[in-house]
Structure 1
């Protein structure tokens, strides 16, 4: 006879605790002995700053939220979006066996500490892939065709016809697009660009080259991609130790008519090198949805450039991406209890941990 267990869900300004609560109740309800819900950061402006700090420095910089202190002692499952799941949170939740975040990244979870404690960490791969891939293609067009700059000019009483790239404003047809990363998002960008008649180069050391070829791309090394691409679009995770994927060497390789598009992580790009490349017209332009400081600090040199399109980290924020995320998370977790194979486990070694297997045997049907 399986036993029930208690869950705690912690929302924020992007996905509220009530949304997590309704989803958990619908999908896991019969297995739960109790379900508590709360909020980590309900102010949208403060959330942006706090989540960015956690992504840069890890969850240990945050204190244990009062909602966890109050309701987490007996909870065996913790779920949320950006709530920091630090070793301190795990200490405050001695019965915790599953920690789930309804996002692709696990920067807000101390996965190492969770693994050491036999806690299984879930994430949701591809939950905003449609949204971000749409946006990446949109940024390519907005930047190279001066869409945002023309709009801003009209709003300011200026009928602009002259831009930095006026002599070589491109069409996408026949151009080479280099995708760095070919996971959920990168592969969708490739699919959506197929109708534009572009040539696709892909650099991803984790993906079977046959998969890239089958999708219409050509697997290449990083240097070839940066040398030959008219557009370089980043869809990779952060590198270990904070190493930069794109720096002075990469900008030196790029064509002077090429564009850099980043909807992934600001930390992938050496910002000073990017500003220098744009200011000197070493590259034609850039489209950026992610930034080293959010909001961008007043006086940042990137604000003075006329060959960059800047957006406020909104690529993944669509109604569909947000509303589907808790359901995707809890549906994946539910597979544990019915003999299925979950898709989004960040530390699969825990599946062999005796502490976790004993717990799962108790609650599994």
Structure 2
């Protein structure tokens, strides 16, 4: 009979700890003996501010959550969404062996330290891919067709018909859409755009050309994509190598009638370079769901521009994206503990560590 585990699940304003508990009880009932539940940050706006800081600076900037301090000493599994999982957390949880976050991003987990200590890390991919890809196409249309600006005009007593792009308001058919990044979300965007009759260009040095062509897209280098595209949509992950991936040079290559869409990470774009291009109307416009500072400050230059559509970091926020993610995580952990093949292990080298092997054998026996 397998040894039962004590686990901690820590939710937040986006996904409550109670939802993680339900998922754990559904998929891990054969392995857990005790579940302790908490919520890291229950205020929605504070959560947005705190998680953004963690994404910029890493989990070590936050103090250890109260539930971890009080209940973590003998817990072996920790799961959540945005709760910071730092070296201080590992210090407070000496028996910890599995960490899981129900998101693709790992900015809130010190993976390097987890690996060093023999702690297996799970994330999930694709939980909000449908949501973000839907939103991307919507934001593209909203910006180029002035949907939000017309709505704002009517709500404020106007009936606006003239816009900064009135001389070249485009249809999508026949246009070139450049996708920077061809992971799961980028591929879904390409798929959803296929019905619009666009040519889809892709720049992703980590994806082979055969895969890109197999999806009906054309692989190109970055310079070609920025020169030829009528719309450029960003779907790369943020790392040291991709920070300011879109800078003054790339923007200078864009057509004056082209649009930049970012539903990925703010750090992919040099905001100052983008602001200058929009201000000087060197590009037609931009649709932005992510920003270096959220919420935008009252004096943000973006608020003064008429050729940008701004949304409140909501591209991935749908009912389905939120409710399914704890279940995807717990199901994958359950597969692993049951000896099946999991999908989302990040640091597989931990599986070869003798201490982890011994722990796993004790759980599975």
Alpha-carbon deviations, 1:245-267, whole Å to 9, x = none?
Answer: 10000000111100000000001
Is 1:340 the counterpart of 2:334? The answer is: no
Alpha-carbon deviations, 1:310-337, whole Å to 9, x = none?
Answer: 0000000000000000000011111112
Deviation at 1:243, TM superposition (A): 2.8
Distance 1:242 1:50, change over 3 A: farther
Match for residue 22 of structure 2? 22
Does the residue aligned with 1:78 lie in a helix, a strand or coil? strand
Match for residue 2 of structure 1? 2
Match for residue 101 of structure 1? 101
Deviation at 1:238, TM superposition (A): 0.6
Match for residue 207 of structure 1? 207
1:23-172 matches, cutoff 5 A: 23-172=23-172
Alpha-carbon deviations, 1:75-110, whole Å to 9, x = none?
Answer: 100000000000000100000011100001000000
User: CA separation in 1, counterparts of 2:16 and 2:148?
Assistant: 32
User: CA separation in 2, counterparts of 1:320 and 1:327?
Assistant: 11
Does the residue aligned with 1:195 lie in a helix, a strand or coil? helix
Task: Give the conservation status (yes or no) of the 8 Å contact 1:239–1:245.
Answer: no
Does the residue aligned with 2:74 lie in a helix, a strand or coil? coil
Q: Which runs of 5+ in 2 are unaligned?
A: none
Please say which of residues 87-96 and 348-357 is displaced more in the overlay. Answer: 348-357
Match for residue 267 of structure 2? 267
Is 1:362 the counterpart of 2:359? The answer is: no
1:214-233 matches, cutoff 5 A: 214-233=214-233
Match for residue 328 of structure 2? 328
User: CA separation in 2, counterparts of 1:6 and 1:311?
Assistant: 40
Deviation at 1:338, TM superposition (A): 2.2
Deviation at 1:241, TM superposition (A): 6.3
Match for residue 182 of structure 2? 182
User: CA separation in 1, counterparts of 2:210 and 2:242?
Assistant: 30
Does the residue aligned with 2:179 lie in a helix, a strand or coil? strand
Is 1:248 the counterpart of 2:248? The answer is: yes
Q: How many aligned positions are there?
A: 365
Task: Give the conservation status (yes or no) of the 8 Å contact 1:336–1:364.
Answer: no
Please say which of residues 167-176 and 344-353 is displaced more in the overlay. Answer: 344-353
Match for residue 296 of structure 1? 296
TM-score normalised by L of structure 1: 0.98
Deviation at 1:208, TM superposition (A): 2.2
Structure 1 stretches of 4+ with a deviation exceeding 3 A read none
Does the residue aligned with 1:73 lie in a helix, a strand or coil? helix
Alpha-carbon deviations, 1:43-66, whole Å to 9, x = none?
Answer: 101101000000000000000011
TM-score normalised by L of structure 2: 0.98
User: CA separation in 2, counterparts of 1:110 and 1:278?
Assistant: 37
User: CA separation in 2, counterparts of 1:203 and 1:38?
Assistant: 42
User: CA separation in 1, counterparts of 2:355 and 2:157?
Assistant: 67
Does the residue aligned with 1:20 lie in a helix, a strand or coil? helix
Does the residue aligned with 1:167 lie in a helix, a strand or coil? helix
Deviation at 1:239, TM superposition (A): 2.5
Alpha-carbon deviations, 1:177-235, whole Å to 9, x = none?
Answer: 00011111000001100000000001111212211111110111111111111000000
Does the residue aligned with 1:281 lie in a helix, a strand or coil? coil
Deviation at 1:242, TM superposition (A): 6.9
User: CA separation in 2, counterparts of 1:305 and 1:23?
Assistant: 44
Q: Which runs of 5+ in 1 are unaligned?
A: none
Task: Give the conservation status (yes or no) of the 8 Å contact 1:99–1:122.
Answer: yes
Match for residue 309 of structure 1? 309
Alpha-carbon deviations, 1:12-54, whole Å to 9, x = none?
Answer: 0000000000110111012112111101000101101000000
Distance 1:352 1:237, change over 3 A: same
User: CA separation in 2, counterparts of 1:243 and 1:324?
Assistant: 30
